Every structure is written in structure tokens, then in C-alpha cells.
A and B are shown apart, each in its own frame.
Chain A
């Protein structure tokens, strides 16, 4: 059932899900899901509406405990009882509905929850310097002032701030749920560039997206969920758009040319 990718290095994947199952009453949101997320790569999670993508990432970010199955972090089983636990490991999730505070400025948003102090007060100079550097590292250049409230930013800029916040908190794994959903062409390009920059810097990205153009542009690996089951996982090169669509809509594809079974047997 499960097909696994080309994780040939002997380093364990950053995250590994084994037999993850989650139900809501009679609804089986996830059924025996296996997935490997290798470090420093972009893994795209595709699937139709209701396939279970959001449930999967919410489990990974500690919002929901799975009914059964386990989560391995760098090869070791972990129990995520709360978002705090996930954050401690270095998992940051950027949700569809952004978690930014409109009334606060960019710097304040980036440091919210991790504010540096000096003599009991906020250390504004340190905050500004670090914020500027992080944004520059991410090649975010379009914001006029890092002291403007995020309410005045465009959708893509807001995504950038959310990502910068994640980087700031030393995230190892950044999970993004539909980061381009509300964006136009230029803004989407900006966010995709951001994702590439992130992974160039060694941050692992798990990207949830409906948009297959986006997926093929940035993903190293693709995983497809169908009705709560993981129906295909493999390097992006072993898929094309039609194959992914087949998997998303029917759960199978006759044209899939991965060598994934072999990897699966190794486990």
C-alpha cells in the first residue's frame, strides 16, 4: 500500500510517521499513514479536499494526538501533547489563517512569544537588528519599513513575516498549509522563492498545496493523500501532473514509475 521514496542516506529522516491513524467519531480522517520527511528538502503533501492534509499537519504540530501510530523525530519516537512540544522540537506550522497580529508591527510579530529583554524592558534595538537580518537572509526586500503594522502588508508579505518568525524561532521543520491559496501570480512567486531559500538554508519544509504548479516548482518529494490514506510517495521527478491528479482523485495511477517499493521493503 505504502510506497516510499529515495531516502538512501543512512541518516534517519527528520520526521517519520508510522501507521498514523486518526478518527473523529465515525469519520476516519487518517488511516495507517506512513511518511518520511527527509531533512533539508521540500516535501509537498497533495490531496483533494477532505483528504486529511490538515489533520495530518495538525497532528504533527501537536494540536491533535493520533489514535494510534507513532511519530519519529530524527529516528526517535516522540509524543506531541501540545503545540509547545512540537515547537520545542523545532516544528513550526504556518496555518491557512495566518497567526499574525494585525495591530502589531513586523518586528513585534516576529518576536511575539520570544521577546528579548534588557533591564526588564523589550530590547527593541536587538529585535530590529535580528528582524532585519532574518528578512534579508530570506531575501524579503519588498517591505517598506519593519515598523509598519502587518495589517498594511500584502498577502505575500504577510507569509514572509510568518516564515521569518518561524526562522527566528530556530525552526527545523516549517509546515505550510496552502501558503499561496489567496495570492496572485507575483505574490505566489515571492512565496515560492521564499520556500526555496528556506530549504537552501537547511530548513525542512512540508508544504500542503492544491496548486500542482506550485508543487512541481518547489518540491523535492511529493506525497499524495486520498481519503485519509497515503497512496503515493516519491521524488518529484517520478511524478507528473497527470499522475498526481490520478492519485488525488482515484487513489491510484497506472503510469506511476517510482522505484519506491524497494525503499519500503528496507523499513
Chain B
């Protein structure tokens, strides 16, 4: 059996034949279709089981409290925002390894910008707006550059975004503000992070939720969404159908960068500071969330609801392990295992489908 690499590992457009078996009567058995359908929804079951297990294992059932929900939802915000962009990227058959680094970098740059504006006695509201604009714009620009390099130089998304991750995460971010956290921020930033709506929803959670709904509609109800699937399903076919594949991909990576910039601001609001450590390794969690949610690294598959559930599975895993007293490195091990398991599941599904 030959091993197929996800197209993220090869230059865009080279593995995307996808014409599939053309033989006589390629009927798929009912069993296969059931496996396929199950493959889309198994994570809902996993989520429920996790809630029950952690809920009853945790001392005095801490998981079923408002405090625990606030905790988990707040923790999930950054992964959710990154995972939304990652969903689009992965459906095109690509991958964005840079989004965690972009989160940290845009947060730091925005923090420094706001700090200098405050030092120059600029109006506080204006400063906050400038901070948001900086992060979103910078994120979008970095995403655009990723997309540009991937499509114009025909470089694999894996390599390009790994390069961006290294250049920004390991190179640029630690240089900003001498590698120190920026704590002199407009008070509104902290207010955003601490304001509870109706006692249950923090503003950043609301922002992430609304982003999710909006981008979910874009993915599942618009031309842009349909073409995102088409490109991941059969890049050559999409091109022949008259779709500007390269421009579309650039837009997808730009969206991913923009959402990483937004995530940078939300993390800043949660912690009321801009930290050079923010977002580190987040990309893996975001990718895991998307794949657990039913997306395929081979492209063409995935959906927004799955990504939301996938994100909460990851968030629940980490907070749940804390609740039941497992800590530190073991959480990382558990996340790693889940990522590998999800990708392995994706592979198995593909093999079954190819038989």
C-alpha cells in the first residue's frame, strides 16, 4: 500500500488529482458509509464521555460548576479563534503552523504600540482601537505573506508556515520590548477580559463565539466556503471550473492570520498584559481541534461545528486533567496522544475509503 502525503507536505496542486476510482459500479458498502458518517460525529460522543468522566472523577464534581465553565470557556477562546482559521486552511488541504506565533507576535507589537501611545498621552479609547487595528492588520499581513509564498513560489504550506513560525516565534517576538511583558495597557483591555455578560459569558468568549458563527456561515453557506472545499477536494478540478485557486488560498491564509491577530488581542484581554510567551504551541492544539472535529489533513473535509467540539475537547482535557489532579507534563502527553490519534483516525478513514 502506498503512503499518500497530505498535500500540505507537497507543493500546492500536485497531489490534488482526486479523480477517484473510475471503475464499473464503485458502490460503497453501507458499512463504509456508516463508518464515514460516524467519523464525522464520534467526537460528540467523546465529548460527552469526557464531561461525565471528569465530572465524576473531580473532587465534589467541580466540573459541573459555573466557575468551571467560565474557566474552560475562557481558556478555549484562543484555541477556538485559531481553529476557525485553521479549519479553512486544512479544508483546502493546507496547514498553518504559524498561527500560534502570529498570536504572540501581534499581541506584543500591539502592546508596544498601545504603550507608546499611552506614554504620548493619547486618548485611551483611541489607543485601544489602534491596538486592535495593529494586531488585526499585522496578522492579516503575515497571513497574506504566507499565502503569497505558498501560491506564487509553489512552496508547501508546511514549510512556509514553519518558516514563519520560526522567524516570528523564535526570532522576532523575543526582541520586542526586550523580551518583557507589556503591562502598561489601556484599562479597557482588561475590562474586555473581565466583563461577564449575563453572568455566564466573558466578552472574549462572545467574540470567539460570534466569529465562529460568522465564519461557519461563510464556510457552509457561501460561494467562498464551497470553493474552499472544492480546492481541497480537487485543486486541478477547481482550477478547471474557473476558480482562481491561488487568490482563494491567499485569502484563506490571510483570514487565518487575521483571526490569530484577534486571538492575540483576546489573550491580552484575558491576562491584562501582552506576553512574548502567548500562543506558544497553540498551533498544535488548534490543528488537533480541527482534526478531532472531523477535518481531513488531505483536504476537502471538515466543518465548523466539529471544530467547536474539537476545541472544547482539547480545553476540557487540559482543565479536566488539572481538576482530577494530573498536572504539567502529563497534560502535554495527553494532548500529544490525542493529536496523533486524531490524525491516525483520519488516515484509517482515507484507507477505508480508497478500498
Rounded to whole Å, the gap between the CB of B347 and the closest CB of chain A is 17
Contacts of B26 in A (CB 8 A): 152-155
Query: What are the residues of chain B within 8 A of A101 when measuring CB–CB?
Result: 18, 229-230, 233-234, 237-238, 300
B17, A104: Cβ atoms closer than 8 Å: no
Given contacts A155-B26, A184-B24, contact A103 B300 (CB under 8 A): yes
A220 close to B (CB within 8 Å) = no
B241 sits at the interface (CB 8 A): yes
Q: Contacts A103-B232, A104-B229, A154-B24 given; indicate if A113 touches B241 (C-beta within 8 A).
A: yes
Minimum C-beta distance from B278 to chain A (A): 35
| A87 at the binding interface (Cβ < 8 Å) | yes
Of B173-181, B220-228, B259-267, the one with at least 4 CB within 8 A of chain A: B220-228
Would you call A117 an interface residue if the criterion is a C-beta within 8 Å of the partner chain's C-beta atoms? yes
Residues facing A in B1-52 (CB within 8 A) are 17-20, 22-28, 33
Is A102 in the interface zone, CB < 8 Å from B?
yes
- In the docked arrangement, what's the CA distance between A100 and B300, Å? 12
B237 engages A100 (CB within 8 Å): yes
Decide: A158 and B22 in contact? CB cutoff 8 A: yes
- Report the bound CA distance from A80 to B68 in whole Å: 64
| Chain B residues, Cβ within 8 Å of A184 | 24-25
Whether B24 lies near A99 (C-beta < 8 A) is: no
Cβ A103 vs Cβ B229 within 8 A? yes
- Interface residues in B206-247 (C-beta closer than 8 Å to A): 217, 221-223, 226-227, 229-230, 232-234, 236-238, 240-243
Distance between Cα atoms of A151 and B240 in the complex (Å): 18
Contact mask for chain B residues 240-276; partner A; CB cutoff 8 A; 1 contact, 0 none: 1111000000000000000000000000000000000
B255 smallest CB distance to A (angstroms)? 17
A87 and B242 contact, CB distance less than 8 A: yes
Which residues of chain B are near A93, meaning CB under 8 Å?
240
A183 to B23, CA, bound (A): 6
B344 contacts A by Cβ under 8 Å: no
Residues of A within 8 A of B237 (CB): 98-101, 112
A121 contacts the other chain (CB 8 A) = yes
B353 interfacial by beta-carbon distance below 8 Å: yes
How big is the B interface, by class?
Answer: 20 to 34
Nearest residue (CB) in A for B236 is A99
For A120, list chain B residues within 8 Å (CB): 222
**Which of B230, B234, B353 has the largest number of chain A CB atoms within 10 A?**
B234
Residue of B nearest to A110 (CB): B241
Please, how many angstroms separate the alpha-carbon atoms of A154 and B240 in the complex?
Answer: 21
Q: Which residue of B22, B221, B223, B234 contacts A155 across the interface (Cβ within 8 Å)?
A: B22
Q: Is the CB of B19 within 8 A of A113?
A: no
Closest to A96 in B: B19
A99 with B229: CB separation less than 8 A: no
Identify which of A84, A102, A121, A154 gathers the most chain B CB atoms within 10 Å of its CB.
A102
Tell me, rounded to whole Å, the shortest Cβ–Cβ distance linking A28 to chain B: 27
Cβ A102 vs Cβ B23 within 8 A: no
Which of B229, B236, B242 has the largest count of A CB atoms less than 10 A from its CB? B242
> Which residues of chain A are near B27, meaning CB under 8 Å?
152, 154
The residue from B17, B222, B230, B236 contacting A112, defined by CB atoms under 8 A apart: B230
For chain A, residues 140 to 163, give those with C-beta under 8 angstroms from any C-beta of chain B.
151-155, 158
Beyond the given A98-B19, A101-B230, A113-B238, please list 4 additional residue pairs across the A-B interface where CB-CB is below 8 A: A98-B237, A151-B353, A152-B27, A183-B24
- Top 8 A-B residue pairs of the complex, sorted by shortest distance between their CB atoms: A113-B241, A101-B233, A103-B300, A99-B237, A184-B24, A182-B22, A113-B242, A103-B233
Q: Which residues of B contact A (CB under 8 A)?
A: 17-20, 22-28, 33, 217, 221-223, 226-227, 229-230, 232-234, 236-238, 240-243, 300-301, 353
28 contacts between A and B (CB under 8 A): A83-B240, A95-B240, A98-B22, A99-B19, A99-B234, A101-B230, A102-B20, A102-B300, A103-B301, A108-B229, A112-B226, A112-B237, A113-B241, A113-B243, A114-B242, A115-B223, A117-B223, A120-B222, A121-B217, A122-B226, A152-B26, A154-B24, A154-B27, A158-B22, A182-B22, A182-B23, A183-B22, A184-B24
